Chain A
């Protein structure tokens, strides 16, 4: 699903609400029959880590850690037992098998984006949220990243929600919401 809208229309706010990063003031958001507003503090953080994967506009990592440790961190923090074999498999599916021990800052922007996607789906979330994943990319890469997101979301059975103002994406998705 695509959420479209010009800058300042509240796209990111909506995404943060969906991801449980912002507290809900009225209404309700349910993910896997769990109302986010019913969860507080640490429980919400843990729920987010386990069931919601988020890909940000620019890929960010814990710089002091290797690619492998960044992925382990994504498993460890919400309380999933880190499994290196799982990480290895995921990275080789994304053609990143040789980057396992590298520090993220030595990777190219495209590689960083792929690692960020790997991190978002590592716990097999039910929802994959992406905030402007293509705005900084040229046409070719734009579609490669979209393919990857769709492919990875369906591989773990997650619903994909993309927030963007990028008009190139309009024709690819059947379900769209436009914020005015």
Chain B
């Protein structure tokens, strides 16, 4: 603490940022909570309906549950691609002698590109006519039978909208995990190898435990990012066909701005906030406990 500070100076420095933060982030959360108890179309008067929105959401809304299940699927695909992929590439990268910087830079490129551009790109990758990159590759390797319009097939559309999101941020996790991996002391690994440990044992017994704190952070990051996934599904399929790629976020958006049902949209928002807090809490509790065991 500075010796010559006054309460006033603290307030002067603290108030402007806190004001912006409250206007943009905290008040909207509270406002959503408030609106979730009302029925409102934005024009007529607010109508207090108590917990009706919540009751409807949990017991009567098939689309809500469908979106929730899709959001979980989306989350799983993103986690596998970003964290699984990130860990594999980062580990491979540590064995590379030259060109590590180039690989990291190239890998991060997609993260710099806007979601709209990515949506355009993947629309062409998945396309059938003219034949897109994916279907072309399938034909080359003799799996032409699998070629399909990936975005209009109800069985593949969820995976098809999740993959671009996973792809785009993998480089970020490669970067973070790699930085953690090269900080593992070489003596530890060397000693284990001398004792006859193979690469897999070195990884599971030394490397991974060592990077666990960073791993927890990346799991939290990837999870919260995946739960806010919106742009790519919205732009590629707008939740369709039917509800087969609807996420909670796109469902909330449509409820608010297409059906102008602000009350119910806020109820879904509240659910999303709770879902994120619970997810982060679970990750911290589960991964910490394993670390202690």
Indicate whether A and B interact: no
